[in-house]
Structure 1
Amino acid sequence: MTENTITRRDFLRSSVLAASGICLGGRVLSVMADESGSRGPNIVVIVSDDQGYADSSCYDHPKEVSTPAIDRLAAEGVRFTNGYASGYVCAPTRAGLLTGRYQQRFGFYTAGDSRTGMPTSEVTVADVLKEKGYATAIIGKWHVGLEPEYRPLRRGFDEFYGFLGHGAHDYFKLEITSEHNSIYRNDKPINDNGYLTNNLAREAVSFIERHQKRPFFLYLPFNAVHWPLQALQKHIDRFNTGDRNRDIYLAMLISMDEAIGRVLGALKRIGADGNTLIIFFSDNGGAKKNFANNGALRDYKQTVYEGGIRVPFIVRWPDRLPKEVVCDEPVISVDVMPTVCAAAGARLPNDRVYDGRNMLPILRGETKEPLHKALFWYDGTDQWAVRVGKWKLLSFKGSLELYDLHADITEKNNLKEQNPEIVRRLRQTFEDWKDQLAPQIGKAGKDRQSPETAGSKKRERRKR
């Protein structure tokens, strides 16, 4: 730590490898809601799309970047310097976020798996919070299932405004087009107008204002700043970087930041600001296609280099967490579900492995122990990575590479040859974790077995 750091139910799997650094469900992780029955905190999870690591002005950033609302989250909360998405593209990260589990455990490896749909055997954070009495809504990009059984209202959400997938959506053309590409309100496509980022803010504010008398969970996954590059002209006119595409991207970023500001304003208006836990991060590293800036990090979205997976990551809860803290502890998007459930005093199902960890003890400075023994990334091919402490081993296009992230955040100095024992140990850690994963759902088709059973069968075959 640095600077002010204060850092569907019951069956336990006991055969989990310690090397994977996971925790098991089946317990209240840290009951923050008063057990006497008083109201638990509101929860808002905000996800940006393809945002560059250097495209928030509370992180190291180029001079043209200004994000006052995101900066306010950091000033009034905890900003992580080692925050990660669990996937290097959109959909897998979203599946992991919603379940608190590495998405590969249930066969969700690629963006294309969103067309098949996140298995209905998976329990979402919305399922758990709804059972706890929360009003639940998703406002924005779904991207984990197209067909009716995989849509938000079947996955624990009371309300939905946004689009189902696949990855991109036009920001201005919001009329009904096709079943899978239209804007939806709940379970019906609608005709709308305006600018989509602004509409998401409108709907988020409406949800907050309509649920003042009960705790709510708002999942706000923007499609900004994902391609296509489309922005309001008044915002484009504010920039002259010499690159028209970069100017449009920055204008899109302004609209998203303003939308976050509107959410913060609504929380303050209804008197809920202090008792609302907000988690903000990007779904993957900045994309080259949309002219994002990842600063010192190597490469972009669609790779397991830091530029593909390390993201802006901020947690704010004024009544419970310190302010203006910068935390170096590695965290990952699968930590969101255990953290918000702990804050709400909600019990996680204990019939499955949970990879995510409750971040609250780290956020409150109650422990100096690492939150994770290891972090993992894998797309089902030969592209994968594992991080243990300062060491990161990755495989990319047949190349095995080892980096000391404490000394070399830019991943320029491959230390594989000098450290064969570290390479061997990290590779074994990855292989042990990989043995627990399910086959890819997009290849398995609709006739799906339980992912945990599938993983068991795979291990049996390996033993023969």
Structure 2
Amino acid sequence: MAPAAPVPVPVPGPATPERPDILLIVSDDHGYADLSLRGSPDARTPHLDRLAASGTVFENGYVSAPICSPSRAGLIAGAHQQRWGAHWFDTSAFPPASRLVLPEILGAAGYRTGYFGKVHYGPEGPGDRACPDRHGFDRSLYGLAGQSFGRLHYLHHSSEAVAEYGEAAAVHGVQPLYEDGRETSCARHLTPELAQRAMDFMGAGADADDAGAGDAGAGEGAAGPRQPFFCMVAFNAVHNFAWQLPQDELEARSLPAHDDFDPEAARYLDWYDGAISPHLEHGRAYYLAQLEIMDREIGRMLDHLEATGRRESTLVVYLTDNGGSTCNYGSNLPLEGTKYSLFEGGIRVPYIVSWPGTVPAGRTAQGLVSSLDLLPTFAAAAGAPLPEGLVLDGRDLRPAWEDPGPEAGHPALFFDTGFQSAVRTPRWKLRRVDPDAPQRAHLLEVEHTDIGAGTTLVPIGESCDESAAADASARHPEVLAELTALHEAWRAEMAAG
């Protein structure tokens, strides 16, 4: 058994401007273009716009994988998931026990920690280390999407619902939820439920906490100062199957109900083909409905922070787990590609950071930043010591929000799913796809997703064109050689763990 990582010395203390509360919001498959602040003609996201106006939007914000499970594993660790062999769905896994993760580091520094939402790092089951209550979260409400094809149902979470759905329960994410590790049920639309649980956890505000009137999750007595919190909200919105909406939401949008899969009606893949783009009638409208509901709940959380006097001392980050899924009617324009691919549309995501008085407001930054940067950024903001010898691939975001120029972020970002790889620098993008990979054919057939083939080198800092026609390999062999060498060195480092 690998030795446990050294545990940081706890540094308890209240939230202050130097030691903020932290709210991390991670959505699911949110398209890069689907923000009204980007001029979308039909996506209405006033509260994400409001968050952006109070902070900095990173135009070149990336996640470490084009699919959810390895991307989420990298985020929670602040390190490339390839270090423990997590590349694609079939190899993804939560970081090993020898590596402390984000809530463990912040918890040891005196933060109370809460997780509310989707868990999907791999094929995790109840009681595994991947469960939030097993890796440093004090309070939690979650569903295990690794048990259900990466999905959580938006409406049905109980043992009774599982029995009613029968064999179809797994593919639709119909399952009980877990509250602090104990099985529970939920009969409410999951998006507002997760937001409400997060607000209950964040508490009633400094005055109420100091008077001993805080919520039960505050973890403080009447005489002591409130602890700062780290709250992670992992919405399953806007993942397919987005038609799973409450009746009042359907009626408000004049949308028809759409039945979940009936296992007696047809083969699952035949049914699934009619449940994604371009065959699902009203598909974009269902997707936008889930997006608008999530945006509304983000607004409620921001309102809660303001009403409780915490907003000025709270670092809020919003991003999604991978690029928008065009088969679920998300849009990544003008970026090429979608979830599953290493085109920009698969890995470049909405990425917003807001911390009043510290992060510049109303700014757009161009530096290359990553979801891996969140752990070192939060640890630095919290004054949380890092374990000796802990290898991180992320870096503190502060230089990138202080300087909005393209050179302020990472000099290079690396991506590798095993059958496709990419290197992104401020100016160039090198992408390789094995044309014979079985995953490529599967994605094309099942998800209607073309991830490309072969090698392309494009000046991505100048345009979003990643087509074969834009390939500059022949014109710039020196750049091709340089980025190839960078990727080979990185890959060797990952293999070493």
Query: Alpha carbons of 1:407 and 1:163: their partners in 2 closer, same or farther (altered >3 Å)?
Result: same
User: What is the deviation of 1:235?
Assistant: 3.9
Which of these residues, 380, 383, 387, is aligned with residue 424 of structure 2?
387
Query: Alpha carbons of 1:343 and 1:80: their partners in 2 closer, same or farther (altered >3 Å)?
Result: same
**Do the aligned partners of 1:85 and 1:283 also contact (CA within 8 Å) in 2?**
yes
**Do the aligned partners of 1:282 and 1:313 also contact (CA within 8 Å) in 2?**
yes
User: What is the deviation of 1:418?
Assistant: 1.1
**Do the aligned partners of 1:361 and 1:367 also contact (CA within 8 Å) in 2?**
no
2:85 is the alignment partner of 1:107: yes
Taking the TM superposition and a 5 Å limit, the aligned residue runs for 1:231-310 are 231-236=245-250, 244-310=282-348
The farther-off stretch of 383-392 and 105-114 is 105-114
Q: What's the counterpart of residue 423 of structure 1?
A: 480
The farther-off stretch of 101-110 and 369-378 is 369-378
Q: Partners in 1 of 2:373 and 2:347 — Cα distance?
A: 15
Q: Partners in 1 of 2:324 and 2:253 — Cα distance?
A: 19
Cα deviation 1:344-368 (Å, max 9, x = unaligned): 0111223132110100122133998
2:233 is the alignment partner of 1:220: yes
Taking the TM superposition and a 5 Å limit, the aligned residue runs for 1:14-29 are none
User: SS of the residue aligned with 2:372?
Assistant: helix
Taking the TM superposition and a 5 Å limit, the aligned residue runs for 1:86-165 are 86-114=64-92, 117-144=94-121, 145-150=124-129, 151-165=131-145
**Do the aligned partners of 1:232 and 1:252 also contact (CA within 8 Å) in 2?**
no
Task: Compute the TM-score of the two structures, normalised by the length of structure 2.
Answer: 0.78
User: SS of the residue aligned with 1:424?
Assistant: helix
Report the residue type matching 2:301 in the other structure. V
Q: Partners in 1 of 2:295 and 2:90 — Cα distance?
A: 29
User: SS of the residue aligned with 1:423?
Assistant: helix
Query: Alpha carbons of 1:251 and 1:121: their partners in 2 closer, same or farther (altered >3 Å)?
Result: same
Q: What's the counterpart of residue 170 of structure 1?
A: 153
User: SS of the residue aligned with 1:87?
Assistant: coil
Query: Alpha carbons of 1:44 and 1:360: their partners in 2 closer, same or farther (altered >3 Å)?
Result: same
User: What is the deviation of 1:410?
Assistant: 3.0
Report the residue type matching 1:52 in the other structure. G
Report the residue type matching 2:189 in the other structure. Y
Aligned CA-pair RMSD: 2.8
Q: Partners in 1 of 2:299 and 2:326 — Cα distance?
A: 27
Q: What's the counterpart of residue 21 of structure 1?
A: none
Query: Alpha carbons of 1:86 and 1:36: their partners in 2 closer, same or farther (altered >3 Å)?
Result: closer
Which of these residues, 406, 415, 435, is aligned with residue 377 of structure 1?
415
User: What is the deviation of 1:60?
Assistant: 3.8
Identity of aligned residues (%): 35
Query: Alpha carbons of 1:93 and 1:36: their partners in 2 closer, same or farther (altered >3 Å)?
Result: closer
Report the residue type matching 2:428 in the other structure. W
Cα deviation 1:10-36 (Å, max 9, x = unaligned): 79xxxxxxxxxxxxxx9xxxx9x9999
User: SS of the residue aligned with 1:281?
Assistant: strand
User: What is the deviation of 1:149?
Assistant: 3.3
Report the residue type matching 2:430 in the other structure. L
Q: Partners in 2 of 1:245 and 1:69 — Cα distance?
A: 23
Task: Compute the TM-score of the two structures, normalised by the length of structure 1.
Answer: 0.83
Q: Partners in 2 of 1:113 and 1:322 — Cα distance?
A: 39
Q: Partners in 2 of 1:42 and 1:295 — Cα distance?
A: 34
**Do the aligned partners of 2:77 and 2:95 also contact (CA within 8 Å) in 1?**
no
Q: Which has the larger radius of gyration?
A: 2
Cα deviation 1:155-182 (Å, max 9, x = unaligned): 1111110212221011111113499942
User: SS of the residue aligned with 2:399?
Assistant: helix
Report the residue type matching 2:182 in the other structure. K
User: SS of the residue aligned with 1:421?
Assistant: helix
The farther-off stretch of 99-108 and 308-317 is 99-108
The farther-off stretch of 309-318 and 283-292 is 283-292
The farther-off stretch of 203-212 and 238-247 is 238-247
**Do the aligned partners of 2:191 and 2:297 also contact (CA within 8 Å) in 1?**
yes
Q: What's the counterpart of residue 400 of structure 2?
A: 362
Q: What's the counterpart of residue 400 of structure 1?
A: 455
Q: What's the counterpart of residue 443 of structure 1?
A: none
User: SS of the residue aligned with 1:254?
Assistant: helix
Q: What's the counterpart of residue 444 of structure 2?
A: none
Report the residue type matching 1:187 in the other structure. G
User: SS of the residue aligned with 1:93?
Assistant: helix
Q: Partners in 1 of 2:227 and 2:235 — Cα distance?
A: 24
Structure possessing the higher relative contact order (Cα contacts under 8 Å, 6 or more residues apart):
1
**Do the aligned partners of 2:5 and 2:98 also contact (CA within 8 Å) in 1?**
no
The farther-off stretch of 409-418 and 251-260 is 409-418
User: SS of the residue aligned with 1:289?
Assistant: helix
Q: Partners in 2 of 1:239 and 1:54 — Cα distance?
A: 22
Q: What's the counterpart of residue 19 of structure 1?
A: none
User: SS of the residue aligned with 1:46?
Assistant: strand
User: SS of the residue aligned with 1:97?
Assistant: helix
Aligned residues, how many? 412
**Do the aligned partners of 2:143 and 2:178 also contact (CA within 8 Å) in 1?**
yes
Query: Alpha carbons of 1:131 and 1:367: their partners in 2 closer, same or farther (altered >3 Å)?
Result: farther
Q: Partners in 2 of 1:36 and 1:185 — Cα distance?
A: 26
User: What is the deviation of 1:234?
Assistant: 4.2
User: What is the deviation of 1:292?
Assistant: 0.4
Q: Partners in 2 of 1:353 and 1:64 — Cα distance?
A: 43
